[in-house]
Structure formats: structure tokens, C-alpha cells
Amino acid sequence: MHVANPAVCGGPLGRSKNGGRHMDSTYVSAIEIAASILAVFLFPVAFPHYFLGALEHFKHRWQRILFVLFVYVFVCSIVLLLFKLLKVVLPSLEVLVPWCLLPILITLPIPYIRSVREENKTLRQQAQHYQSEHKQALIISDMHSKRVAAFIPRSKQAQDSFWIGFTSDVQYELARSYYSCDVVYLENDYATNEQIMQLKRYNWNSVAGAIVSLSDVNVLPELMDVIRRDGSDGPPIVLHDLAPAVAKKHFDSINAVPHLVCVDNEEGGRIAAEIMLSRLKDRGVRKPYRVLCIAGSAKHPHSALRLEGFIKYFDEIEKSTDYRIDSIDGEWTRKAAAAAFQKYVDERDIRRLSQLHGVFAFNDEMALGVDKILRERNAVGASSIEIVGFDYIDALSHEWRNHEDCLVIGTVNAEMRKQARAAVDLILDLVSKNGSRESVRIIRPSGKMKPGLTL
């Protein structure tokens, strides 16, 4: 028996060929119409907003060309869909009226799109501006947190080798820890009032900490006000080159712990005495020994400590009748020490100059001033007077290299580099750790002899 194929002939189990084609065409047309409607309403809104913005993200020309081609194909597809839509629904009068409203619907979002784009552009500019300001603030903040002030008691033009060397050593040590140094020269050649004004007017909040080197203890009472006001709430302050006993007395008055770096001045006086006595005995000088001490200032704590150490060593080694020690002020400078020594010599008989066996100058600048006077004077017995200095500055090393007849036969090495390193280590401990186990650091000096001589 022959059985008809339902797929061909139709029937309950199948559908006719024409009917299937009609249904497939209806489904395709419905999909095209839906896609066209979405394209009509969404494309005018999305295209102006995203196309130009997306185009800006492509850096290379070939990327932009590909993107434009892709958009072109997309637009062509939408046009074809619209053509299909018009072909299907345009004959219907019920749909004709809504199509007349399409231009209005398309153009309505355009002002909104423009306003949104302008607003986004403004917000981006504001964000960039705020980011730039924030970045600049972070840079300034980092600069302040990585910046230490160093107050140096000398005018910018002064030729003081100790402070020149100390300043460069502090800058070097700070640079090793990636900190910058704001050097502030305390003006007017050690004048107290000018130092006080500079300390009071300085913007302490602009630095993470400060190293203050003092030349005049008369500044201390005013400095205590600065430390009380700014040191407690502001950056930490390390005092350099101040006797611990003097610092303790002033800091006790404000209930604070001194942060201090200083060379052991009394020990330095003992070392100078050891050099002097050793040379006197090696030369076979007859007793009683006669020695002149040239202090920077009799009122300065360093002078008192150096003189005390010098005399103590003589007391331990010699009888009080076997030596005589005189003292004059040299004001810490080469010129003033030379004038003071000249006056000391002129007040005595020239024949008695030969009775002077040695000079202990409390810094190398004054020692070189005395050396200049003695060599220029060329008096009887003057060449037999030997000088001991203090600090071991570059100027003395230069004299030793270039003048064999230099009468400065030795000095106390105040370990300038160690002082600078200790001051920087202490201030960085206070800045980074908010404290230090050693708030007072005393540097032990050593003896340094002229090349060719031994202690």
C-alpha cells in the first residue's frame, strides 16, 4: 500500500509547503520590525554619546579606521532594517501618524545628550584638577617630611672652617638618608639678638626637625621659649655644641629632656695638656713650664670645660710649683686672637717672651692667628714656642701641608664628622621613631699631631 508523506501532502501531522513559507516569512518580518524599532529609538541616543568618546580611546590610526568601518557597516544594517520596516508597515494608515512623530522623538534626546556630555567633560576636568592639587599637596607634604633645618652660627660670608666643615658634613649625612637640608645662617657674626629673632620667626612647621648649633649661651633662654612652643607640638629640635650641664639646667626649667650632641670638651682639654707636656719633656724644657691659654670667651661653657680639663691634667702629672698657666680671651676668631696675643706680648718685656714655652688655643682659628704673629715677629725665642689647637679644621691641615715652619704642633680632633653623624642620627630617630634611647650623645675627641711628629 502506498502511504503519502505527511511532510509533502499536508495533514494533521504536517503543514503545507506554502504555509511553512508564510509562517517563516512572518517570523522574520517580526524580528526585523522589532530590531528596526529598537534601532530607531536607541541609535540616535547612543551614537553621539559613545561614538566620539570611544574613538578617543584608540591611539593608533589603524585602530580608528577599523572602528569607523565597523560603525559604517552597523549604520548600513540599521538603514536596511528601516527599509524593511517601512516596506511592511507604511501602507497601514494607523502606523503613518506615529512615523510622522519619529523625527521629533529622535531629536528630543539630543539636547539632553549634549548637556550630559558637557557635564561629564566638566566633571573630568574638575577631577583632573583635584588630582593635580592632591598630587602637589602630597609632594609638598613629602618635602616637608623629608626636610631638616640646620641653624649655623656664622654669617654666610664668614670664613670659619669649623662651621663650613660641619655644615657640609650634616648635608652629606642627611642626603645619605634621602633628606634635604635647609641651612639657616645665624646672622651678624654671633650677635645674640639677631639669632633670637631668626629662631622666633622661622617657620618650624615647614620642616620635619631642626639641628640648632649655638655659639652664644645667651640665646638659650629665648630658645627655650621656642622649644616649649614649637618643640612640643611641632618638629623635634636637637641642640648641637652645647655643654650638657648647661642644657640640663635650662631644660629642667621647662620640664623637658634635652636632645643634645656635643664633643667632650673637658676630655679635649686633657688631650691638649697631654700633647703640650709631652712636647715640653721631649724638648728638655726646664721647669717651671709657662703656658698661655687663649680661651674663646671666659664666660663660654666650652672655654671653662677645656681650661678645667687642661689644668686637671697638669695637676695630675706635675707639682703646682712646676708650671704656670695664664689665660686671655681670643673671641674664637683668628684676628681677635692675634690682637689679644699681641697685646699680651707687648705688656711684657720682650726678653720674657722667650720664657713662654707653649700656647693652648681653644680652637684652630685662634691657634693660626697666634702662629702668624710669632712668625712675623721673629723674636728671640719665639720659634721655640709651640702651639696646640682644638677642632682639627681644614685650614690647619692646609697650613701643615704648605708651611713646614708652622708652630702649631698638634690639635685636638673634635671629630667633626662624628658630631654631624650623631646629630643627624638623633634627629632622624626623633622624626621617624618619635623618640631615641640616647637623647644626649657625647663625642669623644682624639689627639692629632703635625705630620712628622708623634705623641
User: What pLDDT score was predicted for residue 412?
Assistant: 97
Question: What would the grid cell of residue 406 be?
Answer: 708652622
pLDDT digits (tens, 9 = 90+) for 220-276: 777 777 766 654 567 888 999 888 888 888 777 777 778 899 999 999 999 999 999
pLDDT of residue 5: 45
CB 447 within 8 A of CB 271: yes
C-alpha cell at 398: 692646609
If you average pLDDT over every residue of the chain, what do you get? 77
Single pTM value for the model: 0.67
Residue 311 in grid coordinates: 689644668
CATH code of the region 146-263: 3.40.50.2300
The x, y and z cell numbers of residue 128, run together, are: 583632573
In the prediction, which pLDDT does 14 show? 42
Any residues with CB less than 8 A from the CB of 321 and at least 6 apart, and which?
Answer: 288
Residues of the chain with confidence (pLDDT) below 70: 1-59, 72, 75, 78-113, 116, 133-145, 154-160, 188-192, 215-216, 227-233, 348-352, 378-383, 435-436
Residue range(s) occupied by CATH 3.40.50.2300 in the chain: 146-263, 265-416+443-449
How far apart are the two ends of the chain, measured CA to CA in Å? 139
Given this model, what pLDDT does residue 178 score? Answer: 86
SS3 state at 406:
coil
Query: What is the rounded CA–CA span in Å between residue 263 and residue 59?
Result: 64
Q: What is the pLDDT of residue 163?
A: 86
* DSSP-assigned letter for residue 256: -
Give the pLDDT confidence score for residue 228 in this predicted structure: 65
CATH architecture observed for domain 265-416+443-449: 3-Layer(aba) Sandwich (3.40)
Residue-level pLDDT at 26: 58
SS3 category, 124:
helix
- In this prediction, residue 194 carries a pLDDT of 74
Name the nearest CA neighbour of 268 among 360, 161, 330: 360
